[in-house]
Structure 1
Amino acid sequence: MLRITQVSEDSDQVCLKVEGRVIGDWVSELDRTCGSCLSQSRHITLDMSDVTYIDRQGVETLKRILGENVRLTGATLLVQALLGRQVVGKIRQGKTIGPGGPPIKAANLTNSRRSQ
């Protein structure tokens, strides 16, 4: 099962918390959710700190959308390993992966969720 929760947003950016396994039909759901935000010209930060597994289709989808104003934060060592060397070099604890923009720390995502 996969849970995607919007933890914060403004007019041009949205932060989504992704939890569970990015596999099978759930990959399409993640792709649709990101596609909807991207079609509104919004930048996306995906907090991946609670993702437990990503299948091949999920890995390919994430690699594809990373170049489309989508950043990752909070990727575990397992997620880093599954995404491969191309992406692992870009991952830093508490920082985002993706083009442009300032890093968003995972702690800030947690704090914004509590304040809602």
Structure 2
Amino acid sequence: MALTDTAVRHAKSRAKDYTLPGYNGLALFVNTKGAKCWHFRFSWADKQPRISLGTYPEISLRDARALRDIARALVAKGIDPRAHRRQVCNARCMTTGSTSETFFQR
């Protein structure tokens, strides 16, 4: 079942952390304090790791889907999105000294 903007907005904290599953590996993780984080789960080396794509509402549902699509494309090319994120961040730190830019690049 695909996530909707209404479902994301109305997700409230509970006694335990929970995840609202989306489509193609995207999910919204809600912790007990009410923070909402976008996660992308993918298959890599016979495991199911996940990578955080950002927090809601800073990253909207549309943006999270776009980031998920970029990460899926990396996986399809045989590139681990977690390692790619680290590489891009390290390269930017070396050139600009800043780590606050977007991690995924096409």
Which structure exhibits the higher relative contact order, with contacts defined as CA atoms closer than 8 Å and separated by 6 or more residues?
1
Higher share of residues assigned helix: 1
Which TM-score bucket, shorter chain as reference? Answer: under 0.3
**Normalization by structure 1: what TM-score?**
0.24
Over alpha carbons, which structure has the higher Rg?
A: 2
Higher share of residues assigned strand: 1
**Normalization by structure 2: what TM-score?**
0.26
